[in-house]
Chain A
């Protein structure tokens, strides 16, 4: 009961304050000069004390990137990005040799994460859940601030289980063989313009390795924060789940409120072996820009999972409420026999936001299955596009796909678009696709209003119902946060 009231209060406070994560933290930073060239890449590599092969890999990516052009096919518009005007490395200045434990982390940083509601103290858990009601709902967090990982919690507990969860820069030093074996095998260095850029300049991110037969004892989480002005954030995540292992991974992000746009180009690679399962959940809440469309994050992200093993499963769940521009297609390459790919997405755009997001399901293996559920909500003057590909290769006998894309329009100044591609080269493969576009039904609104809900609350309720199929896929902590975010994101779109 008390928790309910508290939740309501939180929602209220959040709803009234707009983007509440827009503050800036004043921390002494170590920043590389603006611009992108081989020297900057060498600098990043040396700051990270990387082995020679890693530098060579980065330089190869940089060479590939220089020969590439920014993709034009997405339904997004933005002024040209000057890649030489960005800082490619920014890290909080270290007091000595870097924090050995949480106690040594800069208190200003800890305070910032506290303010964001991200618990970097072990034993603490995310807001919105009564700690006594849920047993062992512990979440290990890797916090990435601008370009570097500042703290990773619960490392000890995880190590005991055999799980490796650490910043990728550390993994490159500590577990070079593992990283070398998998890095770039799902998203090659020259995969696309933004992936190539990321491969050249990524500074940190998370590395997860779940050994054979291990069920990761807790949820793993990375929290991304862009702070410094004129920096690009390029993080790289690599998750490997060996045979019969399981992991649930959460990702969250915020950035200060600024007038200029900031670039975020991440790459996430997932590898699932026989009978392994990876559940990857994202609540993306980068600063979306103000009501006039000024500022905000350009979120150009490449996420791809390889279901390499038989009966492996990769599930993407995303709630996209932030960013000025979202360009993101979490995909699955279903190589293993009877492997499973899932994509559950809610994308909300308001004001002048633009989202072009969706998924690719590439069916290679016999009996592979995939499900796509996408809910797009556009309000204000925004544009929201679902773009997806389902491809059945000749070997994908008896493969199956089901896709549902629904769009909801709030107001007559926004746009909702659906662009699915379906390609099948196997007669025994079955593909089904459905898409609808509509507005909030008058009778539903009337029903809620008649029972005393304000129009804004009624819309919130209906939108939450519209997204239910996706929200229920989120881990509980995230589901609560996501519902709040939906309300905030749609604020001011009604009436």
Chain B
């Protein structure tokens, strides 16, 4: 089997009859993918949205579709920093009911003890009722086209109107050198609430290419926290589309620590008056890791607010990328958009590329962005050192302070403490 785009297309041709859902949609996605190819691959024109991230290494990697798992999913799961809350577990892109817990038996036959069988939310499988939703742009985003072509499983999570589902964990574990294309849909009814915590981890040289479509109805609030701690040789690509209706809130935080190459792309559309989106992120990279956080916030309704704080801490030969666009459509008056991205270069070989963009077609708006790039402040280092703090510790303090602003945006204390732990773990590994 070929590698790269050709390999994926061959696979599609061989499995297309067995795939669930709308086959015409998949065929259209395959056509789009055939035209564009993998960004940075040998075919096609350079794509502006992928200016700083090339998937050439991905295109050259051979993924073994039917490889036997080389690692124990249970062991990997046991080592994850799990919260005491319901969880939906995917292993190699397929839902594993036996590892998922605390879900109502009706929605998850054979699942673990249903200690909190609640009607606060329901889960269905994409494999059973493929839901491609309406938010994605497979003709525009090549990796979404690839997902649309090959998606086999995923979670369809629904929180009915007026319900608070608390925390739900969505976990992805990879155990073999294959490629996975999970497809998730999350729907919050009017005034519903949910804190969705996603964890991605695994072992091996695999590709996880997730697409999630999120619908936040009027007055609903979704907190979406993600911890990406994939294997060192893995590729992680995740594209999220969120549509937020009037008075709704999409509040997301992404922490990228793992993977050889990671691209997190978020498209948030504020389509009802008074909606809000917070897209915060931190990337901590070492070695020759490449981490790309790309976001597009579209204000299409008046009186909406968006906030973004993105921090990159780059050590070794790592390369961080931030691209963030705020779009304000004609008529989206009284928009309030703010975006801040900062990068800290801890090594002479690290690189940061950032592109914050404003695209504005309404006049009564307040939009701004800021960007800074530099190393640790010498004065602050001196201050700590002169008070007897050892150098390594002083650096740790300053880096943690640098990240605080982004982490502070996470309001749930349990989740914030959990994230801070992950950051501390990363720092210890770096210092060691």
Contact surface of A with B, Cβ cutoff 8 Å? 73, 392, 394, 407, 409-439
Docked CA distance A422–B348 (Å): 17
Please determine whether A434 and B368 come into contact, CB atoms closer than 8 angstroms: yes
Among the interface residues B356, B360, B363, B365, which one has the most CB atoms of the partner chain A within 10 A? B363
Please determine whether B355 and A427 come into contact, CB atoms closer than 8 angstroms: no
Docked CA distance A432–B354 (Å): 12
Nearest residue in B to A419 (C-beta to C-beta)?
B357
The interface size of chain B toward A, counting residues with CB under 8 Å, comes to 35
Please determine whether B373 and A424 come into contact, CB atoms closer than 8 angstroms: yes
Q: Which residues of B contact A394 (CB under 8 A)?
A: 348
Q: Which residues of A contact B354 (CB under 8 A)?
A: 421-423
Does B384 touch A at the CB level, under 8 Å? no
Please determine whether B372 and A438 come into contact, CB atoms closer than 8 angstroms: no
Contact A439/B363 with A422-B371, A422-B373, A427-B375 known, Cβ cut-off 8 Å? yes
Does B161 touch A at the CB level, under 8 Å? no
Please determine whether A433 and B370 come into contact, CB atoms closer than 8 angstroms: yes
Nearest residue in B to A436 (C-beta to C-beta)?
B368
Nearest residue in A to B365 (C-beta to C-beta)?
A437
Q: Which residues of A contact B352 (CB under 8 A)?
A: 422-424
Docked CA distance A394–B373 (Å): 14
Nearest residue in B to A432 (C-beta to C-beta)?
B372
Q: Which residues of A contact B11 (CB under 8 A)?
A: none
Please determine whether A428 and B364 come into contact, CB atoms closer than 8 angstroms: no
Does B383 touch A at the CB level, under 8 Å? no
Binds A, one of B183-191, B339-347, B392-400: B339-347
Please determine whether A417 and B363 come into contact, CB atoms closer than 8 angstroms: no
Contact surface of B with A, Cβ cutoff 8 Å? 48, 330-331, 333, 343, 345-348, 350-375
Docked CA distance A412–B332 (Å): 10
- How far in angstroms is the closest Cβ of chain B from A62? 25
Please determine whether B363 and A433 come into contact, CB atoms closer than 8 angstroms: no
Q: Which residues of A contact B356 (CB under 8 A)?
A: 418, 420, 433, 435
- How far in angstroms is the closest Cβ of chain A from B297? 14
Q: Which residues of B contact A431 (CB under 8 A)?
A: 371-374
**Contact partner of B370 among A426, A435, A438, CB < 8 A?**
A435
Please determine whether A439 and B365 come into contact, CB atoms closer than 8 angstroms: yes
A-B contact pairs, 23 of them (CB 8 A): A409-B360, A412-B330, A412-B364, A413-B330, A416-B358, A417-B359, A417-B360, A418-B357, A418-B358, A419-B355, A424-B343, A424-B345, A426-B345, A427-B348, A428-B374, A434-B368, A434-B370, A437-B360, A437-B367, A438-B365, A438-B367, A439-B363, A439-B364
- How far in angstroms is the closest Cβ of chain B from A349? 13
Among the interface residues A392, A432, A435, A439, which one has the most CB atoms of the partner chain B within 10 A? A435
Nearest residue in B to A440 (C-beta to C-beta)?
B363
Please determine whether A427 and B374 come into contact, CB atoms closer than 8 angstroms: yes
Nearest residue in A to B333 (C-beta to C-beta)?
A412
Q: Which residues of A contact B333 (CB under 8 A)?
A: 412
Which 8 pairs, one residue from A and one from B, show the smallest C-beta to C-beta distance? A427-B345, A409-B363, A427-B375, A433-B371, A431-B373, A418-B358, A436-B368, A430-B374
Contact A417/B358 with A424-B345, A427-B348 known, Cβ cut-off 8 Å? yes
Q: Which residues of B contact A429 (CB under 8 A)?
A: 373-374
Docked CA distance A414–B330 (Å): 9
Nearest residue in A to B331 (C-beta to C-beta)?
A412
Nearest residue in B to A424 (C-beta to C-beta)?
B373
Docked CA distance A415–B367 (Å): 13
**Contact partner of B351 among A410, A425, A435, CB < 8 A?**
A425
Contact A417/B357 with A411-B363, A412-B333 known, Cβ cut-off 8 Å? yes
11 additional A-B pairs beyond A418-B358, A427-B374, A434-B369, beta carbons within 8 Å, are: A412-B362, A412-B363, A417-B357, A417-B360, A418-B369, A420-B356, A424-B351, A430-B373, A433-B356, A434-B368, A436-B367
